Structure 1
Amino acid sequence: MQSNYFQQLTQDLKQQGTGTPQLILDLKTYQHNLDYVQSKLPAKLKPRLVVKSLASIQLLKLASEKLNSQRFMVFHLPQLAEIMGTFPQADILLGKPMPIQAVKPFYQTLSEQNKTNDQVNIQWLIDDVERLKQYLQLAQELNLKLNINIEIDVGLHRGGVSGQAQFVALLKLIQQYSSYLKLSGLMGYDAHVAKLPKILKSPDKSYQQSQQIYQHYKTILQQQFPDLSHETLCFNGGGSPTFMQHCQQSICNDLAFGSMLLKPSDFDLENLSALSCALWIAGPILKVLPCSQIPGLGLLNHLPHKYKAVFIYGGYWRADYIYPKKSQPHVLYGRSSNQEMLQVPMQCDIHVDDYVFLRPTQSEAIIPKFAQLYVYTEGKFLQWQTLRE
């Protein structure tokens, strides 16, 4: 982003802003990212939007309409009911195994309308036999038939099925209790592909290996349990870092992503270079001092200073200061989530009631911290409610 963009944003915030830290969505950039993603998705890969990364119903609605998908991945159980209430034909895959202690009250408090809504499809993620037995007991108690998606370890080593014996045991249990359990698919998350140091393994090789592991489990399912294998099974994979690789070649039919649509800095990857950051934090400036003064180190105050000290409203977010350029927290003064002190280059023309801007490292860590998302479009701000934690 160019300096004049943030200068204009500052002027618009000074006229229309709240005077408190605001989370800004640049609508034009978000729409550009959606257009790009739509252009790259092959027909055989159905997009699944990750709710925690796009934690606003309006954000999700816009993406759902553009990508023609009501498939969602949910990681936080309270958000499940909100998605069900908003998207009447939602296909929901849980992104992590939910403790039975959380699942039981979910079903007990579910409205009768949602209980009978057979158009909403919930796939519960299962990672081991003991957890599946808990879900089976719940299904028997409540007279339910639960859709079960099995988490497989494709190289991330964060749990899930990691061997044939465990996989077969899960499938046998589903097969044995077919009145209460139904296999809905597999999920293999491959975030490690982009994060492994290249000196250890190239992303391409790591991706191919993860795909081979995935295929191994698919083959076991198809050959040993043909009655559980059918064309409508959900073979979910991905994550934003491997989006492009899945688009080029994938044995999956269901691709989860979300963060890359907002492009926080953790997703500054070569294969996502066509996407741009659409999310910013705007922090109002409360105080501007000629230089930083460190308590107990008065001698430093007599040295030449290259920076002035700026104190902002809030701070210590999972985000990097992006404007004014070369602004940074002071190493010795420390961080603050109340009034963070920022070093700003001395020549920078900045004043009380101006704004500094930060780029989040992750959208999922930032959006739920703010009650509203301020959608910046044509010099104006719309307010979209967020899904809180």
Structure 2
Amino acid sequence: MSDAPSNPSRRRLLWAGGGLGALIAGGALLRPGDHGGAHTPYFLALQAALAEAGLYRPTLVIDKARLDSNIGKLTQHINGNFDYRIVGKSLPSLPLINTVRAQTGTDRVMVFHQPFLNLLARDMPDAKLLLGKPMPVKMAQRFYEFHPADSAFQPDRQLQWLIEGPERLLEYRQLAQALQQPMRINLELDVGLHRGGFTGARDVAKAIEVLQADPLLSFSGFMGYEAHVSKMPGIVGGPPKALEAAMGFYRDCVAAAQDVLKDAFDPATLTLNAGGSSTYQMYQPQMFGGPAPCNELATGSALVMPTDFDVPSLNDHVPAAFIATPVIKALDKTQIPGLESAAGLLSAWDPNTARTFFTYGGYWKSRPESPAGLQTNSLFGRSTNQEMLNGSENVQLKRDDFVFLRPSQSEFVFLQFGDIAVFDGKHISEVWPVFQQGA
């Protein structure tokens, strides 16, 4: 019979050996696998189109067929039950907005930046514009200073300024009086996002009374943005409970408006805006036992699908926007300054660090999409000039091949590349200018 159980020294040795084995086994489980791969046929076709067009620089690409598919899904879900407003910050290009307008039949755009507001008023004079955030009153004044008096766009009929509280309402009242300019005012409601806005129906009623008392001001409706809804965990009731609470407060504010306006209250003439890309599919004509308090939904990002919108509520939408940038250096090893001797150990631990690719530009709000297995290097750091990406030996990129990334958002990232390249499945068939931030 073995004496191992009664021998303390051997018992310690066995325990130590077992612990080392467990450590090695655990390390093997933690060790990253090889995620490298090649471009799919889709990205090979996109790469060929960019090469044919000579676009060997960082380029924002929109796939026209995928964009059209997403527009079709949007139209299908809204199904004529609500008016649709394009979120301009998420689609910051006149040809892009015009493409969405043509397919949805809307003339409504939400605007978030004074230069964009002047541009849209000039180049899209039939549009109905709603500010998506409260604008400093000096920027509102600047809009009128740069808006030609003979323009076809008439701000007193086609433009709604957003007001989040009584102080800004007073500022806009003073501006309207100083300019003798009629102004339509939309009230921002805090429906649960807690990013500002009116928080009580009584305050809403008081604001509408102020608007009624001034011949230059008119109440045009409400905006209740509820981006928090889709992120609510089940422990607090999840999205349905959050949306019910948001729409409950919205209903209270609509009722307050009706109490103040009485016979003059006509919801068909008001912009009762709600929704967003991650929530628009949750809206129904009848919500929580009664008619929806809103009559308009706003969406933009869902049409191009940056990664921040990879959420269950948008499972039927497809990514339609990519950042393409050439590889300018392809190296068969990865070296970190000061840690050159550890290069073999690092790649032995993580095979996805075996090779290095430096790209033309980088550090965008994005993540690598193709080829598979590319990753940034936290030891080397990020760069807007030449970004280091690592991959395994199975990533066979070479100089002048393209790396494709998916932006995490569209509203700022789209403005960083110049004209958008439009991919028709085989060629870059169009280029779409983007908005100029300082124009």
TM-score bracket, normalised by the shorter chain, equals: over 0.9
Paired position in structure 1 for 2:315: 273
CA distance in 2, matches of 1:233, 1:6: 46
Matched, 1:242 2:289: no
Q: In the TM superposition, what whole-angstrom CA distance separates every residue of 1:345-386 from its partner, at most 9, and x where no partner exists? A: 212221000011000111112111121100001321111101
Residues 1:99 and 1:68: Cα distance change in structure 2 (over 3 Å):
same
C-alpha root-mean-square deviation of aligned residues, in Å?
Answer: 1.7
Query: Is the deviation greater in 159-168 or in 117-126?
Result: 117-126
Deviation at 1:28, TM superposition (A): 0.5
Q: 1:354 aligns with which of 382, 389, 401?
A: 401
Aligned residue pair count = 388
Matched, 1:203 2:251: no
Q: Given that residues 262 and 278 in structure 1 are in contact (C-alpha distance below 8 angstroms), is that contact kept between their aligned partners in structure 2?
A: yes
Query: Is the deviation greater in 261-270 or in 105-114?
Result: 105-114
Q: In the TM superposition, what whole-angstrom CA distance separates every residue of 1:47-72 from its partner, at most 9, and x where no partner exists? A: 00000000110110010011101101
Deviation at 1:184, TM superposition (A): 0.4
The amino acid across from 2:246 in the alignment is S
Paired position in structure 2 for 1:4: 41
Q: In the TM superposition, what whole-angstrom CA distance separates every residue of 1:266-301 from its partner, at most 9, and x where no partner exists? A: 111112111000000001000011111011112212
Matched, 1:375 2:422: yes
The amino acid across from 2:417 in the alignment is F
Q: 2:228 aligns with which of 192, 202, 218?
A: 192
1:1-389 aligned within 5 A: 3-114=40-151, 117=154, 121-177=158-214, 179-226=215-262, 229-230=265-266, 231-247=268-284, 249=287, 250-303=292-345, 304-305=347-348, 306=351, 307-381=354-428, 382-389=430-437
CA distance in 1, matches of 2:49, 2:205: 60
The amino acid across from 2:226 in the alignment is D
The amino acid across from 1:209 in the alignment is A
CA distance in 2, matches of 1:110, 1:132: 22
Query: Is the deviation greater in 43-52 or in 112-121?
Result: 112-121
Q: Given that residues 163 and 187 in structure 2 are in contact (C-alpha distance below 8 angstroms), is that contact kept between their aligned partners in structure 1?
A: yes
CA distance in 2, matches of 1:192, 1:139: 34
Q: Given that residues 175 and 228 in structure 1 are in contact (C-alpha distance below 8 angstroms), is that contact kept between their aligned partners in structure 2?
A: no
Deviation at 1:247, TM superposition (A): 4.2
The amino acid across from 2:175 in the alignment is L
Q: Given that residues 40 and 247 in structure 1 are in contact (C-alpha distance below 8 angstroms), is that contact kept between their aligned partners in structure 2?
A: no
The amino acid across from 2:247 in the alignment is Q
Deviation at 1:302, TM superposition (A): 3.5
Residues 1:30 and 1:120: Cα distance change in structure 2 (over 3 Å):
farther
The amino acid across from 1:274 in the alignment is D
Deviation at 1:388, TM superposition (A): 2.8
Q: Given that residues 189 and 239 in structure 1 are in contact (C-alpha distance below 8 angstroms), is that contact kept between their aligned partners in structure 2?
A: yes
SS where residue 241 of structure 1 aligns?
coil
Q: Given that residues 314 and 340 in structure 1 are in contact (C-alpha distance below 8 angstroms), is that contact kept between their aligned partners in structure 2?
A: yes
CA distance in 2, matches of 1:369, 1:223: 48
SS where residue 294 of structure 2 aligns?
coil
TM-score of the superposed pair, with normalisation by structure 2: 0.85
CA distance in 2, matches of 1:116, 1:86: 9
Q: Given that residues 126 and 153 in structure 2 are in contact (C-alpha distance below 8 angstroms), is that contact kept between their aligned partners in structure 1?
A: no
Deviation at 1:80, TM superposition (A): 0.9
Query: Is the deviation greater in 104-113 or in 300-309?
Result: 300-309
Instruction: List gaps (5 residues or longer) in structure 2.
Output: 1-37
CA distance in 1, matches of 2:355, 2:327: 13
Q: In the TM superposition, what whole-angstrom CA distance separates every residue of 1:103-161 from its partner, at most 9, and x where no partner exists? A: 11211221012387379510000111111111111111111110000001111111100
Deviation at 1:16, TM superposition (A): 1.9
The amino acid across from 1:319 in the alignment is S
CA distance in 2, matches of 1:259, 1:116: 26
Comparing both chains, which one has the higher relative contact order based on Cα–Cα distances under 8 Å and sequence gaps of 6 or more? 2
- Percent identity for Structure 1 against Structure 2: 36
Residues 1:119 and 1:181: Cα distance change in structure 2 (over 3 Å):
closer
The amino acid across from 1:240 in the alignment is S
Query: Is the deviation greater in 143-152 or in 9-18?
Result: 9-18
**Structure with the larger helix share:** 2
Q: Given that residues 369 and 388 in structure 1 are in contact (C-alpha distance below 8 angstroms), is that contact kept between their aligned partners in structure 2?
A: no
TM-score of the superposed pair, with normalisation by structure 1: 0.96
